[in-house]
Structure 1
Amino acid sequence: MMKPVWMGASLFALALSASPAFAQDAAGANDDMATPEAQDAAQDIVVVGTAGAGTRRQDAAFAVTSLDAQAIAEAAPASTADILKMVPGVSVESSGGQNGANIFVRGYPSGGDAQFVTFQSSGVPIFPPPTLSFLENSQLIRIDNTVERIEAVRGGTGSLFSNGQPGLTVNLVQREGGRTLAGKMQGSITNYGEYRADGYVSGPLDEDTGFMVGGFYRQGTGVRDPQFDSEKGGQITANIRHDFSPDSSVLLYARYLNDRGQWLLPVPVIQDGSDISAFPGFDPNDGTLASEDVRYTTLNTGQRVDLARGRGAKIVNVGANFNFGLSDSLSFRDRIGFLGGRAFTTGLVPDGPPTSAQAYAERLGGAGSVIGSLTYVDGGAAVSPDQQVIQAGIWTVDKKINSVVNDASLQLETGRNTLTGGFYYANYFTHDMWNLGNGMILTAEDNARRINLTFADGRVATRDGFMQGSFYLIDAAYTGEDVAFYAVDEFQVTDKLRIDGGLRWQKHRIEGYVVQPVTVDSDNDPNTLYNNNDAQRGTSQTPIDYSEDKWSYTAGVNYDLTSQIGFFGRYSKGHSFPQFDNLREGVTDIASVDTWEGGLKVSTNMVNLYATLFHNKFEGLSSVQFLPGGNVAQVGGAKATGVEVEGALRPTSWFSLNGSLTYLDATYENFFSAGVDQSGNRVQRQPKWQWRLMPTLKPDFGGVKPTIYATLQYYGDRFSDPENQQLLPSFYQLDAGVSVKVMDRIDLRVTGTNLTNEIGLTEGNPRVIGSQGTGAILARPILGRSFTFSAAYSF
């Protein structure tokens, strides 16, 4: 196995020991330290996707979205991933809970997770691989009051910087301390009984040094109540910034996250074409199979499982940003991050749609099988053969992870030209322990109960409800290493015309091993069906050793017609290397993306408008679909053409209208799923149309000035599968809220989500290839109607 190198740590030590001053990062400027005019300018600065300290969004020659703290609060994101619903060109399935989101970008083909999305904290990737199976970046950080703003760049320059993400790079910028003491304390409670406490405090330590510390804690059942507190945990973040001079600074930060939530999966619903309705006995808006009866179980391996563990992470993330002014024209920047801890998943995964207990018994035992006894595990009461039942399995995944990332660059400014050269290094490790399968027979109802089944011929089908053991048992460890060099040149040809170009060379290496499982009858008794084909850990190791390198590049042009109206155009070619899970399954394809894009940017006091037209060609998808009958590789490409529009209209001081729209025409090319060519089909789980309108009213009622806001969202129809046989119909979602300031320091707020209780499907059954038919199916709807009430005190 490769060992982490000392390069990142030594750069960290070198920067700390240097005596000259470090430059202040423009993106980190605190509101408290600026005039109102400067504050407005700072809020328009974006760092993500740039080579240096940042640029005004109006000047950026790429598609970027910036959200300030107020926009984040009014969006009321249900999770870290959920905030990306504000970014055009991105499709977010946050219906899986606080963790485990599926995020899709610009028609890039993907079966789930967030393969082409990287989250950063203050410009540093939180964990360099954007996605591993059962772990995507948004699982490792939470949005709370310590986040000052969020920046998101899609396509464009993303393939050059940081970890070279060609899809979407999201940067969460931390609050920092200013020249006055400031802070906020906030408490909230929901209509379903979950409570949360947030807060932060920031201020000066001396004239040139500021601090910030804050975080949150929450506890409750969640909208889908499993009869126990499944949502529990919190996060604390702290930083210190010291300015040595106007162009030199250091920012040190640390974050501890210990948070978990229920992993929400498909539930039974009734589908008739585009008509979706509730399955009898199961509420699609707030129902869950999880229950106290299913919470504690013991697997065939002897492993004791508590469903309350859910999906989450317990990690420490520390880092530093250094800016060093070497001279008037030369500057050095270094960003470094360390992460260590565990990410975990424990969930109840349904296998197929409900059926009667009689029909299920015949399917399990074979044609002609006769039920001998059918009873509840808890209490032993008899169960009717007509009872609707469902098979669902206990899946557990534990990952021990760590990483070190270092991104260092030199920037030379000479007249109208800015040249940047940089070096990126990342070393990361994970040790995976998986146990998938462990199917149980459950009643097909809210808060399901376990059922035991014995056949009349003496065969014992279940043990405490379990009708099978593991079908996929993994013990594997991997180390990854990425080394990259990049160079970017930006030339201001005239006051209105700017051109830029850049190159990136990256070498990607993975070493590791997989312990191959064996299948056994653990008690050598063919009449005990529940353990006849148990996967158990074997002794044979399969090594993994992979090394490849690629060049990425981009060229762009920006023309400012006026100071308020501009245009840009860009071509970029980026790559995404195979990660651990692909290589374990023998899939070694390197994804490549060619993107052409151009846009219009308008920024006036009344109107902001950002419109982008793009076309991309994608080759080399490599993903794996986990199925009970064996894993299926999906390989190939796609092409996509789309339009992204976002903007704001402010005709008066008391009314504004924000909005965004995405049109996407994305189809597969030379794409194979389970060996079948799906070329010409629409790329799965990404709609042709999606839009959102966000009006805000600020009326004046005799000195009381509430803020009333709403979001109406539309998601067009999609297909859950590459075969385009699992239709996910279009739906609308309406959210709204109102906030009132009292004595300028107290903010009272109520926010409602999915006010119409829409049954909007975001996923079909990923454990099935092709159609589920009509009638009872498995699908994952958005969460039902809920309300959050909060009170905050600011100082």
Structure 2
Amino acid sequence: MHNIRLSASRLLLAGAAPFALIAGSAMAQTAPAAQDAPEAAADENQADIVVVGTAGGGTRRQDAAFAVTSLSSDAIARAAPNSTADLLRTIPGVSAESSGGQNGANIFVRGYPSGGDAQFVTFQLGGVPFFPPSTLSFLENSQLIRLDETVDRVEAVRGGTGSLFSNGQPGLTVNVQQREGGQTLKGFAKLSYTDYDEIRGDAWISGPISEDTTFMVGGYYAQGNGIRDPQFRAEKGGQITANIRHDFGGRGSLLIYGRYLNDHGQWLLPIPVNQDGSKISQFANFDHGTGALAGRDVRVTTNNAGRTVDLADGRGAKLGNFGLSFDYELVDGLSIRERASYMWGTANTIGLVPTDAPMSAAAMATTLGGAGSTVGSLTYASGGAAAAAGTQVMRAGIWDVRKRIDAFVNDMALEFKAGGNKLTGGFYLANYTTRDNWALGNDVLLTAEPNARRLNLTLGDGRVATRDGFTSGASFLVNGRYEGRDIAFYAVDELQITDQLRVDGGVRWQRHEVVGDVATSGAAFDQDGSAATLYDRTVQLGGAGRIDYGASRWSWTAGANYDFTSQIGVFARYSRGNSFPQFDNLREGLTIISKVDTYEGGLKVSTPMLNLYATLFHNKFDGLATTQIINGVPNESVGGAKATGVELEGVIRPFAGFSIAAAGTYLDGTYRGFFSGNGTIDNTGNRVQRQPKWMWRVTPSYELTVGDFRPSIFATLQYTGDRFSDPENAQLLPNYYQLDAGVSVDVNQRLKLAVTGNNLTDELGLTEGNPRIIGSQGAGTILARPILGRSFRFSAAYSF
């Protein structure tokens, strides 16, 4: 395979050049003055139009022949998400676990089997994939995008046409649309503070540059220790976004934007809890909602390889991104559309990863030294004082994963309209790289308590089990350089047969290529060669291997939408999509291409009193492949699955000011011919891991006017049903409820005060068991990751 390294800057200039010529010609013309539309009408129309999953230009949600959700900025504010991934809880068919903090989410879609991260989820910014691989180990798309007040709306399409557009994602495609300027100068500033001492500021300003050109610039900055306080500043960073749009006298427009993100937070992982069947309770004094294993004593350490690691670096991203969106009508009925983006930066992960559940020091001596081993001494690594008799202990690895990434994406299409027919043909190109350095393992011995302290253990026979708390060196190393390229051609035809009936169909051909050089762990060895020291067992980096992969596949879809009236319609669709192996799969020799067949149909109702969207779907999966780090080494899971489900979403407005929004999902997803444990465990018939059969949420809200004030009250009750954390269905995650609520008051037209509360009942709900082992953890004290505890956010916003 030829060298696929592309110069993103040259490609961007080459892609933009012909449009710049057209833009120059258009700007020379005299354009009529733009007029501001009434704000209420503009907001209503904007919320009704969706861009994601369409061939360009957007469509009314009521007319879409696929399952799509659109969330306005007001809906986002009321959801009060703790992270970007947390917002996806509002979308039916999607199970999002944000208990890992701002980063490190697990997102699952419609029974698509996955071991974690967000294997079948792509995030777009302005219609362009932010980073084309939906998931790499220790990197999923939501880690790269933050929600702030510069976001106008978020759209999400499930299945349907997603396999044709963008990067061809057959699962979930989430599009984040930026706020833009208008012909009136506007501004906004908000200061918020939480009961766990996080302070955050958001602001934006927008307006005209000329009659044809507008701008917007804004962002946020925040810092705090986080809900799970590790005794140091774990959450810190911000984002700035800017854009300029120029209109070409009604024939099209050019949007140029830039964004810089520098934000990181603590990577939250399983903590000790007690489990007795379906009953979950708190372990000792380890608060299930606010307790953190990390603390001052373990924040900065130097591992056996001599590398100093600071847990305050956490997990996050430091990225730059710029792009453009160009639309222009060349002649009547023929338009050109260009979307391009270039992103570069780092996305690192530093975390304290629990290795085993709490145990006695005597049990740990046996674990480290073998049968018959006893405790000689147990002391604190800092200060050397003896630990109390009966101290519960556990191990956790200090994992260090460094990634340098970049991506160039270009999507260009021609659109031809004639009568009731719209034909679109497009070309998609993506070139992306990552430079990986991993050091997993590096276990330290800790007290089994919040803000744990490092311990040193000497066995009864004189063998030294620890050095400065470390019980081992690295268990898995990676040093890799990967480069991928995707080329795709797509064509879609939409035909309005009658006023009521519209059909569409399309195909996509995609070529996926990856080259790389990667070295992973070689043989284990004893660093000093002495049997008296147990802490220096580690692995060394093995020889480099070469990756050279290429494959092509076709995707296609066909759908129909029938409107009984302008307010009631139905749709039906079939689609075939593919998911190509990415860097981590290829590193482990997994070259399987996942194939997904989706059948879906739905009912849509849009009236002043009621909006209802109901979708029935059936998915068949073949050639699935995932890799998880279990006991310090990669383990493969391959095979197939099937899923049938119903998604409901809607809002009822019985009288002025009051509404009840609701969403729910029933999912019957099971494995078929799916083997985990490197092919040793057949999970056929088991439920797909981490996804419940039942999941729903209800959000009532009431707005009223009291004198000069406009208060608004809202609440959300969410139910998450029983799940299994593992494909073997051995780790039960019991069902739980979560209650959130808030109140806001418009003091006047400019000042708004608000308070929101999350998990008001301080529910102990588990989202993950121990993904680093195979099978049951047994009864008693286990490792699991609960949802975040009760918290409150207070804010004051001023606009003009």
State the TM-score, normalizing by the size of structure 1: 0.98
Equivalent of 1:407, from 404, 411, 417? 411
**Distance in 1 separating the partners of 2:38 and 2:342:** 31
Letter in 2 for 1:342: T
Post-superposition offset of 1:22? 7.3
Count of paired positions: 787
Q: How does 1:713-732 map to 2 (within 5 A)?
A: 713-732=718-737
Post-superposition offset of 1:372? 1.6
Q: How large is the RMSD of aligned CA atoms in angstroms?
A: 1.3
**Aligned residue in 2 for 1:641:** 644
Q: Residue 268 of structure 1 contacts residue 353 of structure 1 at CA under 8 Å; is this kept in 2?
A: yes
Given the alignment of the two structures, is residue 499 of structure 1 paired with residue 494 of structure 2, yes or no? no
Letter in 1 for 2:602: G
Q: Residue 49 of structure 1 contacts residue 153 of structure 1 at CA under 8 Å; is this kept in 2?
A: yes
* Deviation per residue, 1:205-263 (Å, 9 max, x gap): 00000000000000001100000010000000000000012131100000000000000
Given the alignment of the two structures, is residue 98 of structure 1 paired with residue 112 of structure 2, yes or no? no
**Distance in 1 separating the partners of 2:124 and 2:35:** 21
**Aligned residue in 2 for 1:4:** 6
**Distance in 2 separating the partners of 1:398 and 1:39:** 42
Post-superposition offset of 1:575? 0.4
**Distance in 1 separating the partners of 2:44 and 2:35:** 9
Letter in 2 for 1:577: F
Post-superposition offset of 1:373? 1.3
Equivalent of 1:654, from 647, 652, 657? 657
* Deviation per residue, 1:157-216 (Å, 9 max, x gap): 000000000000000000101000011100000001010000100000000000000000
**Aligned residue in 1 for 2:138:** 134
**Distance in 2 separating the partners of 1:145 and 1:21:** 35
**Distance in 1 separating the partners of 2:623 and 2:169:** 15
Counting aligned pairs with the same residue, the percent is 63
SS at match of 1:206: coil
Q: How does 1:300-379 map to 2 (within 5 A)?
A: 300-379=304-383
Equivalent of 2:242, from 238, 242, 261? 238
Q: Residue 22 of structure 1 contacts residue 248 of structure 1 at CA under 8 Å; is this kept in 2?
A: no
**Aligned residue in 2 for 1:292:** 296
**Aligned residue in 1 for 2:630:** 627
Q: Residue 755 of structure 1 contacts residue 786 of structure 1 at CA under 8 Å; is this kept in 2?
A: yes
Letter in 2 for 1:296: V
**Distance in 2 separating the partners of 1:565 and 1:463:** 69
**Distance in 2 separating the partners of 1:247 and 1:535:** 62
* Deviation per residue, 1:42-63 (Å, 9 max, x gap): 2200000000210000000000
The alpha-carbon distance between structure 1 residues 37 and 793, as it changes in their structure 2 partners (threshold 3 A), is closer
* Deviation per residue, 1:747-776 (Å, 9 max, x gap): 100000000000000000001111111110
Worse-matched range after superposition: 453-462 or 393-402: 453-462
**Distance in 2 separating the partners of 1:228 and 1:238:** 32
State the TM-score, normalizing by the size of structure 2: 0.97
**Aligned residue in 2 for 1:51:** 55
**Aligned residue in 2 for 1:169:** 173
**Aligned residue in 2 for 1:26:** none
Post-superposition offset of 1:120? 0.4
The alpha-carbon distance between structure 1 residues 497 and 20, as it changes in their structure 2 partners (threshold 3 A), is farther
Given the alignment of the two structures, is residue 191 of structure 1 paired with residue 227 of structure 2, yes or no? no
Q: How does 1:507-522 map to 2 (within 5 A)?
A: 507-518=511-522, 519-522=524-527
**Aligned residue in 2 for 1:425:** 429
Q: Which runs of 5+ in 1 are unaligned?
A: 24-29
Given the alignment of the two structures, is residue 746 of structure 1 paired with residue 748 of structure 2, yes or no? no
Q: Residue 21 of structure 1 contacts residue 248 of structure 1 at CA under 8 Å; is this kept in 2?
A: no
Q: Residue 116 of structure 1 contacts residue 168 of structure 1 at CA under 8 Å; is this kept in 2?
A: yes
**Distance in 2 separating the partners of 1:35 and 1:419:** 33
**Distance in 2 separating the partners of 1:20 and 1:82:** 43
SS at match of 1:73: helix
**Distance in 1 separating the partners of 2:368 and 2:336:** 66
Letter in 2 for 1:755: L
Q: Residue 431 of structure 1 contacts residue 477 of structure 1 at CA under 8 Å; is this kept in 2?
A: yes
The alpha-carbon distance between structure 1 residues 776 and 232, as it changes in their structure 2 partners (threshold 3 A), is same
Given the alignment of the two structures, is residue 553 of structure 1 paired with residue 556 of structure 2, yes or no? yes
SS at match of 1:701: coil
**Distance in 1 separating the partners of 2:621 and 2:545:** 31
Given the alignment of the two structures, is residue 593 of structure 1 paired with residue 587 of structure 2, yes or no? no
**Distance in 2 separating the partners of 1:627 and 1:19:** 55
Q: How does 1:562-601 map to 2 (within 5 A)?
A: 562-601=565-604
**Distance in 2 separating the partners of 1:385 and 1:110:** 43
SS at match of 1:537: strand
Q: Residue 33 of structure 1 contacts residue 179 of structure 1 at CA under 8 Å; is this kept in 2?
A: no
* Deviation per residue, 1:246-301 (Å, 9 max, x gap): 13110000000000000000000000111110001211110011000000000111
SS at match of 1:41: helix
Q: Residue 476 of structure 2 contacts residue 520 of structure 2 at CA under 8 Å; is this kept in 1?
A: no
Q: Which runs of 5+ in 2 are unaligned?
A: 28-33
Post-superposition offset of 1:14? 2.5
Q: Residue 641 of structure 2 contacts residue 672 of structure 2 at CA under 8 Å; is this kept in 1?
A: yes
Given the alignment of the two structures, is residue 786 of structure 1 paired with residue 788 of structure 2, yes or no? no
SS at match of 2:685: coil
* Deviation per residue, 1:475-495 (Å, 9 max, x gap): 001000000000000000000
Post-superposition offset of 1:351? 1.1
Worse-matched range after superposition: 468-477 or 379-388: 379-388
**Distance in 2 separating the partners of 1:460 and 1:382:** 15
**Aligned residue in 1 for 2:394:** 390
Post-superposition offset of 1:352? 1.5
Worse-matched range after superposition: 451-460 or 304-313: 451-460
**Distance in 1 separating the partners of 2:285 and 2:378:** 20
